[in-house]
Amino acid sequence: MTSCKQKVSRLALYLSSIGISLVASGSSYKQLLAGLQQQYDELPIDQRKLARLTGRRLIKTLGSIRTALTSLPLTIVLQDQKVSSAPVASRTKTRAEIFAIISRRWSALTPPCPSCRMGNGYPKRSWPTREWADEVRARQHDRATLNVFACPVQPGYWHLGHIGRRTVAPSKAKEICFHSIPPSQLPATSMETGGHV
C-alpha cells in the first residue's frame, strides 16, 4: 500500500471507529486524503483523540488497518464533483483588507503613519530611529531611489520614500540619494554608465 493509501485507510478507520460517516470526494487518493483530513480536522480535539485511540486499539486487536476497516460498518457519502464550465470569480479584497494583510507583517514598533502615504495611498511605515530606517533602506532592492526622512507629523519617527522622478533633476537625484552615505563608502563604479564599466 502506498503512503497515501495508508493515510486514507487510517483516517477512514479513525472516523468510522467513532461512528462518523465518511464524506468522500475525488478521483485520486490525494483528493480523498484531503477530504478526509479536512473532515478529521473539523472535529473537536477530544473527538480526534478518541478517534485515534479507538482506531489504534482496533489495529492492535485485529492486526492491521485493512482488517480493522472490514470489521466496521462503513458509511460513505459520495459527493458529486461539479465541473463548472466558467471559472467562478473570487471576491476581490477591499483596500482596507489588503492593507490589513500587508500591515500584519509589521512590528508594533513600526506603526503605520496616520498622515503620510505611499504612492499607492496606503499609510507609510514609521521607523522609531533613523539608524533603523537606514538599515532597512540598505536592504531594499531599490535603495538607490530611496530616501530616509523625518515624519512631519510624528516627532521621532522616520519614513522611507522614493525620490520623485518627475520633480527632481537627475543630477540632483544622485546628490539626494547618497547624502546619508559618506563618499568613502560609495562603490567605485561609474554612475553615468549605470554601474557598468
Q: Which three cell numbers stand for residue 132?
A: 533603523
Q: Does 191 fall in a domain?
A: no
In the chain, the N- to C-terminal Cα span, in Å, equals 61
Average pLDDT over every residue of 138-155: 90
User: Which pLDDT value is given to residue 17?
Assistant: 80
Whether residues 64 and 112 fall in one domain: no
Residue 68, domain member (yes or no): yes
The answer to whether residues 133 and 57 belong to one domain is no
Q: Backbone dihedral region of 26: left (phi > 0), alpha (psi from -120 to 50 degrees) or beta?
A: left
Examine the pLDDT at 195 and tell me if it is beyond 90: no
Residue 109 has pLDDT above 90, yes or no: no
Looking at the structure, do residues 116 and 158 belong to the same domain, yes or no? yes
**Lowest mean pLDDT: which of 126-135, 151-160, 164-173?**
164-173
Which residues sit opposite 117 in a β-bridge? 123
Can you tell me the mean pLDDT for 154-170? 74
> Is residue 197 included in any domain, yes or no?
no
Residues 25, 101 within the same domain: no
Q: What is the pLDDT of residues 97-108, one digit of tens each?
A: 888 888 888 888
Nearest Cα to Cα of residue 11 among 47, 52, 68: 52
Assess whether 38 and 116 both reside in one domain: no
pLDDT at 179 over 90: no
The percentage of the chain sitting over the pLDDT mark of 70, rounded to a whole number, equals: 72
Kindly state whether residue 86 falls inside one of the protein's structural domains: no
With respect to residue 89, please indicate whether it lies within any of the assigned structural domains. Answer: no
**55 & 13 share domain:** yes
Q: For residue 118, give the nearest of 128, 138, 103 by alpha carbon.
A: 103
Enclosing domain of residue 121: 95-182
| 30-46: pLDDT as tens digits | 888 888 888 888 888 88
Q: Please tell me the distance from the alpha carbon of residue 2 to that of residue 43, in angstroms, as a whole number.
A: 26
Asked whether residue 139 is domain-assigned, the answer is yes
**175 and 109 share a domain?**
yes
pTM: 0.39
Examine residue 192 and state whether it is found in any structural domain, yes or no. Answer: no
Helix (H) / strand (E) element for 99: namely helix 95-103
Residue 151 has pLDDT above 90, yes or no: yes
Residue 187 covered by a domain: no
**104 lies in the same domain as 143:** yes
Q: Which residue has the cell 483516517?
A: 11
The answer to whether 166 touches 176, Cβ cutoff 8 Å, is no
Residues 176 and 108 in one domain: yes
64 and 99, same structural domain? no
Q: Give the pLDDT of residue 42.
A: 86
Q: How many structural domains compose the chain?
A: 2
Judge whether residue 156 has pLDDT over 70.
yes
